[in-house]
A and B are shown apart, each in its own frame.
Chain A
């Protein structure tokens, strides 16, 4: 089976390629990049005017399976990923039961193999049942294929437990992912603490709670020499702490979400529960610092924290609604609109954050268009204008703070292992390939 993608603007930050070229895919791997490639019998994809990028990777997704299928499952979640241009997603372990042992890791991987439309990687829990008390069977899970370890959704309050997890995960050279918000400071809050929360009368989750947690975690990573990844960085202080740590040579990486890069706490003013998320949407100074951190490499990756909930769960009073919302199908559009079309970042910079960077953090053989690697490719139309309409989402999570937003830039095809799984917004049926 052959596929030729012709005349696209090929961007591969790993190989430092940014040029109009053809790509030949053969037997599911990248066979050749060059000009005017002729291949007999090959399917031809005309990509003139389009950008050909390494398949996008979202290292922070809540697939909700097992146990929480009313919110999402592997089928709907991977369809949403394909629709959004993602060829690989890594799912978080806060399911029911929690993915805290090798059998569950293997089970999710196996189910994703047969039912998933894109590649699924599994992140194992750091503590048993994510209770923050005892280490989960980290070694077993990593040997069963888990790509990282995290108690995402919960901060590991016990410093001793995190220290042990860092050291233990370090045996395998893998990274621990931290959801960094000091519990005592945020436990009552449901939005950023500042002028908007003062006006709305809502309890705040202060930025300093994230700063403190990030600082402590980084000090432990520095002390143990282990790898640490900070999920969904959202504060000015955290960006600066990570920047300094990187200068000292600490093995720390970080991600930012499209919503923290694009929205401020002003969005909460209408009490729309689709704006409720942890960490919360911050004020403008934090957003600007986050963008600067992404631009200068302090923040390595963009990840969605795709956290779908059933409609009725979000359809309630703000303080009772669960945190999180769908992100896979809006991420690329939001990032291109907010960072590329505003001139803040270039396409190669953005594509690196969405492919090579997460691949490196999770040690994946992906995120590049090098000859010989699996042909995971995302075709992007940077100038495509579209309006977010959650009714058209593949995810079961129909809440998004970007509802009705006019975005510019969209994935128009998603190719996984040489197979087109999404074209012009239509995804193929799961298991078809």
Chain B
């Protein structure tokens, strides 16, 4: 396992906004090592034996939850899933009570996804285990941001100086926010684009360039990250129809050609093929969408390792 002079400053993984470039590099470097484990015939290592991780998911998720589960298991930890679709309000048990119950079972890490922005911060203040934010509303999804950066870095060899275009529903996207913070800290230039109704007001104050014509954002991009469009946004009047969205804002081969010839195509999944992304490019030559999934596993292994074994405590014990 890599030993570095750097360690994570904070106990929890809540957001990329306050993470330093050194910390992010440490995570990405560690993930590189972890990726070798995934390719082994026998994947299980005993590194986290005796540690317990709970996936506390208040929102439906397939890939993130499975990814965390396998990440924990490959490293030898015990992993339990709690999936509850109802919010704490309708469920009748408060988030604090749920967290205290989980804490009382002696878990070391709580991986939490919740529809409310700031819920991971709430958890970090409420209980002692390490909190890893697996998505809090439209706020942040730090492990997705890290796995996107990992994927880009693996292909391009760097992040600094790259032009990354994030296309789609920026307003509701935690993936967009974590990507913006992470990529900017690592020296990339971030362009966002989508219909004006799906761009947050004052988004440019986050240090990105915003466009309502996707072609302008795609021009000369090194990376194109296409976000999922939830169909219910149309019902709320944020765009007129899926058909029109696909025609005007969807990423297809013609639009992708505006980016650099070797531009990477990312999508955090799950995809609506034919809506925000054309079927022929989704698994085309430039697509790294399936690699993202594998890299997500590596990044989550790295994070679990670092928060449980690679922190200041290990350093102090030396």
Contacts from A to B (Cβ < 8 Å): 193-195, 197-202, 204, 206, 270-271, 312, 315-320
List of A residues within 8 angstroms of B173 by Cβ: 201
Determine if B118 and A315 form an interchain contact, defined as CB atoms under 8 angstroms apart: no
Are B201 and A271 in contact, with the CB atoms below 8 A? no
Asked if A200 contacts B117 (CB within 8 A), the reply is: yes
In the bound complex, how far is the Cα of B59 from the Cα of A317, in angstroms?
14
Residues A202 and B117 in contact in the complex (CB < 8 Å), given A195-B206, A317-B88:
yes
| Cα distance A415–B149 in the bound complex, in angstroms | 65
B122 with A320: CB separation less than 8 A: no
Q: Does B138 contact A (CB under 8 A)?
A: yes
Bound-complex Cα distance A271 to B121 (A): 8
Among B17, B88, B118, B203, contact of A198 (Cβ-Cβ < 8 Å): B203
A-facing residues in B75-105 (Cβ within 8 Å) = 87-89, 94-96
**Chain B residues with CB below 8 A from A317, complex form:** 88, 95, 114, 116, 118-119, 122
* Chain A residues within 8 Å of B88, by CB: 316-317, 320
Q: With a CB–CB cut-off of 8 A, which chain A residues contact B205?
A: 195, 198
Closest to A204 in B: B201
CB distance from A22 to the nearest CB of B (A): 52
Contact, CB under 8 Å: B117 / A198: no
Is B200 positioned at the interface, with any CB of A under 8 Å from its CB? Answer: yes
CB distance from B141 to the nearest CB of A (A): 10
Give the complex CA separation of A318 and B203 in angstroms.
21
B residues in contact with A204, CB < 8 Å? 200-201
Q: How far is the CA of A270 from the CA of B139 in the complex (A)?
A: 12
B163 contacts chain A at the CB level, 8 A cutoff: no
The smallest beta-carbon distance between A206 and chain B, in angstroms, is 7
On whether the beta carbons of B118 and A200 are closer than 8 Å, the reply is yes
Contact across chains for A318 and B201 when beta carbons are under 8 A apart: no
Q: B232 contacts the other chain (Cβ, under 8 Å)?
A: no
Q: Is B276 an interface residue (CB 8 A)?
A: no
Q: Least Cβ distance of A116 to chain B in Å?
A: 33
- Interface residue? B202 (CB, 8 A): yes
What would 22 A/B residue contacts be, using CB atoms closer than 8 Å?
A193-B201, A193-B202, A195-B205, A198-B205, A199-B17, A199-B177, A199-B206, A200-B139, A201-B117, A201-B139, A201-B177, A201-B200, A202-B137, A202-B138, A204-B200, A271-B117, A271-B118, A316-B96, A317-B95, A317-B114, A319-B117, A320-B87
Given that A195-B205, A195-B206 are known contacts, is A320 also in contact with B116, CB under 8 Å in the complex?
A: yes
A198 and B206 contacting across the interface, CB-CB below 8 Å = yes
Cβ distance A383 to chain B, nearest Cβ, rounded Å: 35
Best-surrounded residue of A194, A197, A200, A206 (most CB of chain B within 10 A): A200
List 9 tightest A-B contacts by C-beta distance, closest first: A271-B118, A201-B138, A317-B116, A195-B205, A198-B200, A201-B139, A195-B202, A319-B116, A318-B118
**Contact string, B196-227, partner A, CB cutoff 8 A, digits 1/0?**
00001111011000000000000000000000
In the assembled complex, the Cα of A12 lies from the Cα of B49 at a distance in Å of 74
Smallest Cβ distance from B230 to chain A, in angstroms? 14
| CA distance in complex: A38, B137 (Å) | 68
Q: With A201-B139, A317-B95 as given contacts, are A194 and B116 in contact (CB-CB < 8 Å)?
A: no
**B-chain residues with CB within 8 Å of residue A200 when the two chains form the complex:** 117-118, 139
Q: How far is the CB of A317 from chain B (nearest CB, A)?
A: 4
Interface residue range, chain B: 20 to 34
Chain B residue nearest to A317 (CB atoms) is: B116
What secondary structure prevails in chain A residues at the interface with B? loop
Once the chains are docked, how many angstroms separate the CA of A317 from the CA of B95?
8
Which one of B114, B122, B137 lies within 8 Å of A201 (CB-CB)? Answer: B137
With A and B bound together, what is the CA distance between A264 and B200 in angstroms? 19
Known: A199-B177, A201-B174. A315 touches B96 (CB 8 A): yes
Q: Chain A contacts of B203 at CB under 8 A?
A: 198
Tell me the smallest distance from the CB of B145 to a CB of chain A, in Å.
13
Residue of A nearest to B173 (CB): A201
Q: Which residue of A lies closest to B116 (CB)?
A: A317
Q: Separation in Å of the B239 CB from the closest CB of chain A?
A: 16
Residues of chain B in range 108-130 having any CB-CB distance to chain A below 8 Å: 114, 116-119, 121-122
| Bound CA–CA A320/B114 (angstroms) | 12
Does B140 interact with chain A (Cβ within 8 Å)? Answer: yes
Q: Which residue of B lies closest to A319 (CB)?
A: B116
- Quick one: given A271-B118, A271-B122, are A201 and B202 in contact (CB under 8 Å)? no
Q: How far is the CA of A233 from the CA of B222 in the complex (A)?
A: 47
* Neighbouring A residues of B172 by C-beta, 8 Å: 201
In chain B, positions 169-203 with a C-beta closer than 8 Å to chain A are: 172-174, 177, 200-203
Q: Which residues of B contact A193 (CB under 8 A)?
A: 201-202
Measured in the bound complex, the distance between the Cα atoms of B139 and A198 in whole Å is 9
**A201 contact set on B, CB distance < 8 A:** 117, 137-140, 172-174, 177, 200
A301 to B138, CA, bound (A): 38
Residues from chain A with Cβ under 8 Å of B121 in the complex: 270-271
Shortest beta-carbon distance from B10 to chain A in Å: 14
A272 to chain B, nearest CB (A): 9
Contact residues in A for B140 (Cβ distance below 8 Å): 201
Question: How far, in Å, is B19 (CB) from chain A's closest CB?
Answer: 14
Q: Is the CB of B119 within 8 A of A194?
A: no
Is the beta-carbon distance between A194 and B137 smaller than 8 angstroms?
Answer: no
Give A199 to B203 CA distance when docked, in angstroms: 8
Complexed CA–CA distance, A198 and B118 (Å) = 14
Inter-chain CA distance A315–B123, complex, in Å, is 11
Q: Is the CB of B117 within 8 A of A320?
A: no
Task: List the A residue with the shortest CB-CB distance to B170.
Answer: A198
Given contacts A317-B118, A319-B116, contact A198 B202 (CB under 8 A): yes
| Cα of A319 to Cα of B87 in the assembled complex, Å | 11
Question: Which of A199, A206, A316 sits near B94, CB closer than 8 Å?
Answer: A316
Task: Decide yes or no: A315 and B94 within 8 Å by CB, A197-B200, A199-B177, A320-B87 being known contacts.
Answer: yes
A344 CA to B153 CA, complexed, in Å: 53
